[in-house]
C-alpha cells in the first residue's frame, strides 16, 4: 500500500523513525541530514556526543535524538538496542554507517588487527541485524541499509582485511534479505567508491601523490561526496526501494564499471 505522502513524493520518509550509526561524520552525517529533509525522525548513534550534537544541529524537523554509544562494545549491543526501542518505539529503518578502514599489507596482518577491523565492520552490523530481527523492533515495510564498499567487490593491494570485512557485509546482506522478507523488512547494501570524507583524508596519508592521482583516475566521474552516497541510502529506505532487497547498490563514480 502506497501512502498519500509517497504518491506525491516517492522519496518521502515522512514520520519514519530511522536509526543512523556513524552519524557523527561523513556518510552517516550526510545521510541523517538528507533523511531529516525527507521528513524522517532520526536516532543518531556515534561515539562522540559532541559530534552527534553537531549533526543534530544540522537536521531539519523535530523529534530527533542523539544516542552516544560505541559499537565496538558488541556484547552490549542487544541490551542497549532493547532499551532504545523501548524508549523510542519501533524503527522504520536502520542505516549502518559506522566502520573503520586501515591499510594493512598482508605480511603485517595480526589477529588483533583482524579483530579490530571485524568488530565494528562485521560484528556490530551482525548484532544490529540480530536486534532488528527481534519482536517489534522494526515495523513491516521497514528497510535496513548497510554501508559496504567497492573494496568488498574488487581487489586493492594493502586492503585485504578491510575488503574481507566489507565482503562479509555484502554476504550478510543477501542472507538477511531472505530471512527478513517474510516480515516485509528489506535489507540492502550500498557499496561506495572513494568519497571525500575524513576517511579519505586518512587514506591519502597512505598514498603518494601519484597513487592518489591513479586512484582518482579509477573513478571516471571523480571522487564522490558523502551526499552522493546518502542519496542512494535514502532511495533504498524510502518507498522508491520497496521492491528491492538483497541488493548491493554501487555508488562509485564508475570504479567498478
Q: How far apart are CA 193 and CA 171, in angstroms?
A: 18
Q: What residues from 139 to 168 belong to the interface with other proteins (CB under 8 A)?
A: 158
Kindly tell me which of 83 and 202 has the beta carbon lying closer to other proteins: 202
Q: What is d(CA 71, CA 58) in angstroms, rounded to the nearest whole number?
A: 23
3-state class of 128 per DSSP? helix
Smallest gap, in angstroms, from Cβ of residue 170 to other proteins?
25
Question: Where does this chain touch other proteins (CB under 8 A) — which range of 34-42, 65-73, 203-211, 240-248?
Answer: 203-211
Shortest distance, position 202 Cβ to other proteins, whole Å:
9
Answer for the pair 15, 38: CB distance below 8 angstroms, yes or no: no
Query: Is there a catalytic annotation at residue 103?
Result: no
Which of 209, 217, 243, 257: binder of other proteins (CB under 8 A)?
209
The gap from C-alpha 87 to its chain's centroid, in whole angstroms, comes to 23
Locate the DSSP E strands across the chain.
17-21, 41-46, 65-68, 91-96, 138-147, 186-192, 248-251
Number of residues engaging other proteins in binding (CB under 8 A): 14
Using the rule CB under 8 A, give the single segment among 5-13, 31-39, 127-135, 207-215 that binds other proteins. Answer: 207-215
Among positions 99-128, residues that touch other proteins (CB under 8 A) are 102-105, 107-108
Compute, in degrees rounded to 10, the torsion defined by CA atoms 129, 131, 132, 137: -170
CA distances to 31, 139, 167, 187, 240 from 180, in Å? 23, 11, 20, 7, 19
Minimum CB separation of residue 30 from other proteins in Å reads: 24
Does an H or E element contain 183, and which?
A: none
Half-sphere exposure in the Cβ direction for 119 (13 Å, CA)? 14
69, 146, 162, 180: which one is catalytic?
Answer: 162
Least distance from other proteins to the Cβ atom of residue 203, Å: 10
Looking at 184, 204, 218, 231, which residue binds other proteins (CB under 8 A)?
204
Residues near other proteins (CB under 8 A): 102-105, 107-108, 158, 204-209, 211
For the annotated catalytic residues, the residue numbers are 162
Amino acid at each position: 500500500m502506497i501512502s498519500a505522502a509517497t504518491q506525491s513524493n516517492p522519496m518521502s520518509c515522512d514520520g519514519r523513525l530511522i536509526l543512523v550509526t556513524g552519524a557523527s561524520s561523513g556518510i552517516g552525517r550526510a545521510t541523517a541530514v538528507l533523511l531529516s529533509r525527507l521528513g524522517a525522525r532520526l536516532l543518531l548513534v556515534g561515539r562522540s556526543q559532541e559530534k552527534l550534537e553537531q549533526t543534530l544541529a544540522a537536521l531539519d524537523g523535530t523529534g530527533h535524538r542523539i544516542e552516544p554509544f560505541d559499537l565496538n562494545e558488541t556484547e552490549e549491543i542487544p541490551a542497549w538496542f532493547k532499551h532504545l526501542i523501548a524508549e523510542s518505539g519501533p524503527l522504520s529503518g536502520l542505516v549502518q554507517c559506522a566502520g573503520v578502514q586501515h591499510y594493512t599489507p598482508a605480511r603485517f596482518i595480526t589477529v588483533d588487527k583482524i579483530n579490530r577491523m571485524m568488530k565494528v565492520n562485521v560484528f556490530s552490523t551482525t548484532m544490529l541485524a540480530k536486534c532488528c530481527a527481534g519482536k517489534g523492533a522494526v515495523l513491516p515495510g521497514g528497510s535496513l541499509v548497510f554501508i559496504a564498499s567497492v573494496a568488498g567487490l574488487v581487489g586493492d593491494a594493502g586492503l585485504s582485511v578491510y575488503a574481507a570485512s566489507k565482503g562479509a557485509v555484502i554476504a550478510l546482506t543477501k542472507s538477511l534479505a531472505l530471512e527478513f522478507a517474510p516480515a516485509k523488512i528489506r535489507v540492502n547494501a550500498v557499496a561506495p567508491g572513494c568519497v571525500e570524507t575524513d576517511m579519505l583524508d586518512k587514506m591519502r596519508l597512505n598514498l603518494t601523490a601519484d597513487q592518489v592521482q591513479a586512484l582518482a583516475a579509477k573513478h571516471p566521474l571523480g571522487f564522490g561526496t558523502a551526499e552522493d552516497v546518502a542519496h542512494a541510502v535514502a532511495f533504498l529506505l524510502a518507498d522508491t526501494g520497496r521492491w528491492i532487497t538483497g541488493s548491493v547498490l554501487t555508488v562509485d563514480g564508475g570504479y567498478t564499471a
